[in-house]
Amino acid sequence: MNYELYYWPTIQGRGEFVRLVLEEAGASYLDVARMSGKGAGMPALLRFLDGRGAARPPFAPPFLKAGRLVIGQTANILQFLAPRHGLAPKDEAGRLWTQELQLTMADFLVEIHDTHHPVAAGLYYEDQKKEARRRAADFLDSRAPKFLGYFERVLAKNARGKRYLAGARLTYADLSMFQIIAGLSYAFPRSMAAAARKYRRLFTLHARVQERPRIAAYLASRR
């Protein structure tokens, strides 16, 4: 299947969680808003948001077009894609657990985002720097350790081995955790350098994902 990913063209954002699954799967996809020409670019993305592009319009990017399906909400997209490409557990309990981890990462992501946009998502970081400083301090003191500590424990408790978050094999939750650690390290380099000594399993997972041949090729590419 030829997938079409729709996401804001100039940032990684939530689109990156979908890209990582598509890249690890070796799937064929178009990153539509980053393309130019007829039926591509921002106009193509906006058509869906203003309701012209689909009978079931997504609220916000990312969304994925797969044949006639248009699927919104990051965790929902991943839950659709991953089993089709061997990136989700086969049993129901394993699938539910993987999706639970993904949704907890989605909660974490909102809090990460809000460190730079504590007053309003629509305002530039530069317009809310004072509030961002306060929010980031609390985030680094209490919220980040709570989330990171939780995921570190999940890795330690995995009865099927300590390499991945859910079960014995790589799942979409591991790809997303790679991106969470990468994003946090970009946003908070000093705190995350210290965190690397505390949350060793998570950082090892980040390195393990980064070294996977398809992910390494993707990270080295212009994509």
Ligand X SMILES: N[C@@H](CCC(=O)N[C@@H](CS)C(=O)NCC(=O)O)C(=O)O
Binder among 9, 30, 54, 73 for ligand X (CB under 6 A)? 73
Q: Which of residues 14-43 bind ligand X (CB under 6 A)?
A: 14
Residue 108 and residue 147 in contact, taking contact as beta carbons nearer than 8 Å: yes
CA angle 183, 188, 194 (to 5 degrees): 110
For ligand X (CB under 6 A), the number of binding residues is 8
Residue 89 and residue 166 in contact, taking contact as beta carbons nearer than 8 Å: yes
Under the criterion CB under 6 A, does residue 46 sit at the interface with ligand X? no
| 123: helix, strand or coil | coil
Q: Given the complex with ligand X, which of 27 and 106 has the nearer CB atom?
A: 106
Relative to beta strand 2-6, strand 28-31 is parallel
Q: Which residues contact 136 (CB under 8 A, 6 or more apart)?
A: 115, 116, 188
Q: Given the complex with ligand X, which of 10 and 211 has the nearer CB atom?
A: 10
Alpha-carbon gap, residue 107 to 190, rounded angstroms: 23
Q: What is the largest CA-CA distance in the chain?
A: 51
Nearest distance in Å: CB 123, ligand X: 13
Q: Given the complex with ligand X, which of 61 and 167 has the nearer CB atom?
A: 61
Q: Which of residues 74-113 bind ligand X (CB under 6 A)?
A: 74, 106
Alpha-carbon gap, residue 218 to 113, rounded angstroms: 24
Q: Given the complex with ligand X, which of 74 and 98 has the nearer CB atom?
A: 74
Q: Given the complex with ligand X, which of 79 and 171 has the nearer CB atom?
A: 79
- Per CB under 6 A, which region of 59-67, 124-132, 172-180, 193-201 contacts ligand X? 59-67
Question: Binding residues for ligand X, per CB under 6 A?
Answer: 13-14, 60-62, 73-74, 106
